[in-house]
Amino acid sequence: MRASSRIWLAAAVMLALLPWVPGLQSDSARSLLTQMGIASVFALSYNLLLGQTGLLSFGHALYFGLGGYASIHFLRAINAGLPIPTPFVPLAGAAAGLAFGVVFGALTTRRGGTVFALISLGLGEWVYASTLMLPSFSGGESGITASRTKAPHWLGLDFGSQLQVYYVTAFWLLASAVLLHAFMRTPVGRLANAVRDNAERVEFIGYNPQRVRFIVFSVSAAFAGLAGGLHAINYEIVAAEALSATRSGAVLLMVYIGGVHHFVGAILGAIAITWLQVSLSDYTTAWLLYLGLLFMGIVAFVPGGLAGLAMMHLAALRTHALPAIARSYLVALPFALVASIGAVTLIEIAYRRATQPEAGTLMKLFWIPMDTAKPWPWIGAALLAAAGAFALYRAWPRVASAWAEAGEEMHARA
């Protein structure tokens, strides 16, 4: 069997076994897995746009949301008697995504780069605002509901349980990944990469970059719509927030933090951000700030994202600089920790004071009780943050030089 087929088989097996892993057998865990799956499909569609073709869109949730709405209306039709089983509903989402992708894409892919980004922003805002004005299509702010169980049974299943919804999602995730990966191996896929790297040169080898962008855009919108359909099945409700700027921003964050250059980065980012969104918001109201800072850090310092970071470290494993890198981490890590603790404390107490005055001034951070009305938590946190940052700044050259060593070795081997 070819290597790539083996990987897909392994992925399929892993997806099939995932909900049976000890600790993941509860409905809430499986619900989280399903959400990650949906986000992954959405992120893969966005990776096609940004990572493979260099098209930065701030309004991709448009196709996710419209696909979601189409799917929920389709599901309602099924509830009313249309004899199609639930697992096929996402196809309605994909069809809607494709249709809108073709129409809007023809308009917007005439320009690339910055103008495309702004247009995607404006278009997204327009459709979002318009959806709110058309309650019979969109249910306004409260959304449209349907039932995933009131449908013909398929393979004896009624798709009511979270486990079954997970498997539907996992199936479509695998199918999307296989299809998108294959798409990148076609002539249009290769040309998409060429357009990303040098759209001008593509003209000189005989192709119209606008046509390439248009095709990629339409395909990407179709898969975003598919993700919207999965969303509709999972929640049994679709509301205007499905096509909001917030959701568009979220998928951008996912793909970039995960690693915009790599296919697998989209999935990594989807998993990480979904987990953060669900879990971190339980611990702190400042989670959006942390997310924003993480994003800025990745853009400025680690443009390859989590996937790039992982690949870098995997490559470094084979060099002789590995011990030096490990040692430099050992030195730098404690300082980074101290600085982080100080900064997080400062942020948390500031948030408490500004946004939850009714909760009082006493709180417990890192197992230490403190009173935000007193000066010492502020001063202490500020000192920790400053001291840790300064020490990190002094320790950083060791890390940099260890990596430079590794880099030289890797380059010489190339």
Partner 1 sequence: MKEIVAFSLLNGAVYGLLLFMLSSGLTLIFSLMGVLNFAHASVFMLGAYFSWQISRWVGFWPALVVAPLLCAMVGAAIERFGLRRVHRQGHVAEILFTFGLAYVIGELVIMAWGRNPIENHVPAVIDFAAFRVFGTSYPFYKVLMMGISVAMFAFLYVAFKRTRLGLIIQAALTHPQMVGALGHDVPRLFVLVFAIGSALAGLAGVIGGFALLTEPNMAANLGPIVFVVVVVGGLGSIPGAFVASMLIGLLQTFAVAIDYSWLDLFRALGWKVAPGSMLREVWSVKLSQAAPILPYVLLVLMLIVRPRGFMGTRET
Partner 2 sequence: MHEPETAQPPIALELADVHKSFGATPVIRGVSLAIPRGERHAIIGPNGAGKSTLFNLMSGRLAPTRGRIRLQGEEIAGKRPFRIARRGLSRSFQVTNIFARMTVRENVRCSVLWSLGYRYSFLRSIDKLRDANERTDETLERIGLASRRDALAGVLTYAEQRALEIGVTIAGGAKVILLDEPTAGMSRPETEAAVELIRSVSHDRTLVMVEHDMSVVFGLADRVSVLVYGEIVASDTPERIRAHDAVRSAYLGASDA
190 binds, among partner 1, partner 2, none (CB under 5 to 8 A by kind): partner 2
| Rounded-to-integer distance, Cα 409 and Cα 401, Å | 12
**Cβ distance 56 to 46 under 8 Å?**
no
314 binds, among partner 1, partner 2, none (CB under 5 to 8 A by kind): none
Q: Interface with partner 1 includes 300 (CB under 8 A)?
A: yes
Q: CA–CA distance from 161 to each of 30, 115, 145, 167 (Å)?
A: 10, 45, 17, 10
* Stretch 58-117 residues interacting with partner 1 (CB under 8 A): 58, 107-108, 110-111, 113-115, 117
Q: Interface with partner 1 includes 380 (CB under 8 A)?
A: no
- Minimum distance, C-beta of residue 119 to partner 2, in the bound complex (Å): 21
Cα–Cα nearest to 136, from 126, 144, 148, 147: 144
- Minimum distance, C-beta of residue 74 to partner 1, in the bound complex (Å): 15
- Minimum distance, C-beta of residue 110 to partner 1, in the bound complex (Å): 6
| Rounded-to-integer distance, Cα 66 and Cα 51, Å | 23
- Minimum distance, C-beta of residue 217 to partner 2, in the bound complex (Å): 13
| Rounded-to-integer distance, Cα 80 and Cα 376, Å | 64
Helix (H, G, I), strand (E, B) or coil at 12: helix
- Minimum distance, C-beta of residue 172 to partner 2, in the bound complex (Å): 20
296 binds, among partner 1, partner 2, none (CB under 5 to 8 A by kind): partner 1
Two tokens, residue 238: 């679709």
- Minimum distance, C-beta of residue 391 to partner 1, in the bound complex (Å): 19
User: Which of 252, 254, 307, 385 is close enough to bind partner 1 by CB under 8 A?
Assistant: 252
- Which alpha helices (DSSP H) does 260-321 contain, by range? 263-275, 281-283, 287-301, 305-316
Whose Cβ is closer to partner 2: residue 194's or residue 264's?
Answer: 194
**Cβ distance 51 to 262 under 8 Å?**
yes
User: Which of 25, 182, 203, 303 is close enough to bind partner 1 by CB under 8 A?
Assistant: 303
> HEC states along 327-355?
HHHHHHHHHHHHHHHHHHHHHHHHHHHHH
Torsion of CA 119, 122, 124, 127, to 10 degrees: -120
Q: Interface with partner 1 includes 180 (CB under 8 A)?
A: no
Q: Interface with partner 1 includes 53 (CB under 8 A)?
A: no
Two tokens, residue 344: 């997080």
What DSSP letter does each residue of 134-181 carry, written as one string? Answer: -HHHH-TTT-EE--SSSS--BTTB---SHHHHHHHHHHHHHHHHHHHH
Q: Interface with partner 1 includes 288 (CB under 8 A)?
A: yes
* Stretch 188-247 residues interacting with partner 1 (CB under 8 A): 245
Contacting residues toward partner 2, per CB under 8 A: 182-183, 185-191, 193-194, 196-198, 200-208, 211-212, 215, 219, 261, 411, 414
- Minimum distance, C-beta of residue 195 to partner 1, in the bound complex (Å): 13
Cα–Cα nearest to 35, from 216, 198, 276: 276
Whose Cβ is closer to partner 2: residue 163's or residue 194's?
Answer: 194
Cα–Cα nearest to 34, from 328, 259, 231, 211: 231
292 binds, among partner 1, partner 2, none (CB under 5 to 8 A by kind): partner 1
Two tokens, residue 16: 């099939």
Residue 253 CA from chain centroid, whole number: 6
Exposed/middle/buried for residue 24 (C-beta within 10 Å: 0-12, 13-18, 19+) = middle
DSSP E strands, 211-271: 237-238
- Minimum distance, C-beta of residue 70 to partner 1, in the bound complex (Å): 14
- Minimum distance, C-beta of residue 115 to partner 2, in the bound complex (Å): 18
Q: Interface with partner 1 includes 23 (CB under 8 A)?
A: no
Two tokens, residue 390: 């300064």
The DSSP 8-state label assigned to residue 358 in this structure reads G
Whose Cβ is closer to partner 2: residue 91's or residue 202's?
Answer: 202
- Minimum distance, C-beta of residue 246 to partner 2, in the bound complex (Å): 31
Q: Interface with partner 1 includes 386 (CB under 8 A)?
A: no
Whose Cβ is closer to partner 1: residue 299's or residue 362's?
Answer: 299
219 binds, among partner 2, partner 1, none (CB under 5 to 8 A by kind): partner 2
User: Which of 62, 180, 230, 347 is close enough to bind partner 1 by CB under 8 A?
Assistant: 347
Q: Which residues bind partner 1 (CB under 8 A)?
A: 50, 54, 56, 58, 107-108, 110-111, 113-115, 117-119, 121-123, 125-126, 129-130, 133-137, 245, 249, 252, 256, 286, 288-289, 291-293, 295-296, 299-301, 303, 347, 350-351, 354-355
